Amino acid sequence: MVHASPRPLRAHAAGSLLGGTAAVPGDKSISHRALILGALCVGETRIEGLLEAEDVLNTAAAMRAFGARVERHADGSWSVFGVGVGGLGEPEDVLDFGNSGTGSRLVMGMMATTPIRAVFTGDDSLRRRPMGRVLEPLRLFGAEAQAGEGGRMPITLVGAREALPIRHHVTLASAQVKSALLLAALNAPGRTTISQSALTRDHTERMLRAFGAQIHVEPLETGEAISVLGEAELTACPIAVPRDPSSAAFPAVAALLVPGSEIRVPDVLLNPRRTGLFAALRAMGASLEVVNRRDSGGEEIGDLVVRHSPLSGIEVPADWAPSMIDEYPILAVAAAFAEGRTVLRGLEELRVKESDRLAAVAAGLKAIGVRVEELADGLIIEGMGRDVPGGGIIATQMDHRIAMSFLVAGLASRDPVAVDDTTMIATSFPEFCPLMRRLGANFAEPG
């Protein structure tokens, strides 16, 4: 596997305010699912606004390997001509998912109840991430898997010859595991029921309904149970991908931190299970307004207007974690520039992301002069208001969100902040640097 040379970058305090429109890319979670469910339909699924980042393009390549026809049109839209549930072909080569835990886990679920064989791998970061959490329940359907130590890639997965429906409780607050099992259920006879104690992202459930699956969601005292009728026949439908709130988080926090700034982020996904960061920032005192709310393909979207605001430290409830799990690195940066203490808990899942994000965030904050205590499940951050020293070089650990978060920190700290690599940002937000520069960010290669 060929790796690009590291591309370090340094962020300097903005010479002026940040302003303008931040047209962030399409939502990554929805983009993955649109390609996968499109491949499981018969007929053409037309997708507008697909995120054209490495993670999603690797999922598109995997769909081609399973026999679907996936095309990009000159106007930027995409078409997926599917093979139907149970119609997947066996890939001729290894499936390389790069840095994408979402794409790899969802595709494992997609194929686990079809009697074919596939080999899954990824980059160094992905090969360190635990996959047993999805492989073990997929074995209940009848799938077989051979994996490296600790259930890690490379993984050879053989789909069930005679798939069985299952009843399974997912103990982790993981939308990836839940979604993988729901996708596996599509080709298992009878009704499969998956329950969780936490309310995780529900994009898979919403999109399954749009494609015609028979799906029922039952609220529980804590969490919910989702049942899907197998041997499904999915009907192709158009998908308009809203803009990614996880990507919107970076320019939004930058605007909050740089005095005088005001930006607008149009067409952002406002699914309540994805907007925990916005709620947390408002609780800290952020001027963050949503205008022009509307519906798009079963998901609420709107335009986000963000203005510079002084922030105050808060205690973020642990049960908010599923609604903002990817946004904690940038929330930690916001907390560093707040007045007072911020406490973040319920973050065990961050230990097994693209990096150990808890450790990486704590190390990064210390490197820019912020006092932070790393807990087993969270962080305690002593905010410094407008007096964050900055300086230092941040070890990104091949994690795109660490890189982008600390570049944002450098726009408001006294001294510049450098990150050791930015190549991995392309996995989720290829336009991050040019977009931020258009808003007024001062990024430069280290001399």
Q: What is the DSSP string of 182-244?
A: HHHHTTSSSEEEEEESS----HHHHHHHHTT--EEEEE-SSSEEEEEESS--EE---EEPPBP
Q: Under a CB-based contact definition with an 8 Å cutoff, are residues 135 and 148 in contact?
A: no
Beta carbons of 114 and 187 less than 8 angstroms apart: yes
From the candidates 27, 244, 326, 421, give the one annotated as an active-site residue: 326
Q: What percent of the chain has pLDDT over 70?
A: 98
CATH 3.65.10.10 domain locations along the chain: 9-26+242-444, 28-240
Please say if 420 is a catalytic residue.
no
Q: Which residues contact 219 (CB under 8 A, 6 or more apart)?
A: none
Residue ranges of the chain with pLDDT lower than 50? Answer: 1-2
Q: Is 83 helix (H, G, I), strand (E, B) or coil?
A: strand
Q: Provide the token pair at 33.
A: 């699912």
Q: Which of 367, 389, 445, 447 is nearest to 7 (CA)?
A: 445
**Diameter of the chain measured on Cα atoms:** 64
What pLDDT does 428 receive?
A: 87
Among residues 153, 198, 191, 158, which one has the least CA distance to residue 175? 198
d(Cα 103, Cα 99) in Å, to the nearest integer?
A: 9
pLDDT tens-digit series, residues 158-206: 999 999 999 999 998 899 999 999 999 999 999 999 999 989 999 999 9
Instruction: Tell me if 363 sits within 8 A of 338, measured CB to CB.
Output: no
> Do 107 and 36 meet the contact criterion of CB atoms below 8 Å apart?
yes
pLDDT at position 356, please?
87
Name the amino acid, one letter, at 58. N
pLDDT tens digit sequence for 37-87? 999 999 999 999 999 999 999 999 999 999 999 999 999 999 999 999 999
Pick the CATH number of 9-26+242-444 from 3.40.190.10, 3.65.10.10, 3.10.350.10, 3.40.50.300: 3.65.10.10
Q: In what order do the strands lie in the sheet with 144-148?
A: 95-96, 117-121, 152-158, 144-148
- For 28-240, CATH number? 3.65.10.10
Could you please report the per-residue DSSP string of 161-172?
A: SS----EEEE-S
pLDDT value, residue 297: 64
pLDDT of residue 2: 41
- Cβ atoms of 318 and 348 within 8 Å: the answer is no
pLDDT at 354: 65
Among the listed residues 342, 325, 324, 320, the one whose alpha carbon sits nearest the alpha carbon of residue 333: 342
All residues at 6 or more sequence positions from 379 whose CB lies less than 8 Å from its CB, including other chains: 332, 342, 343, 344, 347, 358, 361, 362, 365, 372, 373
Q: Are 134 and 168 in contact (CB under 8 A)?
A: no
The end-to-end CA distance of the chain, in Å, is 30
The DSSP bridge pattern shows strands 19-21 and 239-240 to be unpaired
- DSSP E strands in 317-384: the ranges are 339-344, 371-374, 379-384
Residue 102 has a pLDDT of 94
Q: What is the DSSP letter of 89?
A: P
Look up the pTM and report it: 0.88
- Name the E strands within 110-162: 117-121, 144-148, 152-158
Rounded to an integer, what distance in angstroms lies between the CA atom of residue 26 and that of residue 80?
Answer: 17
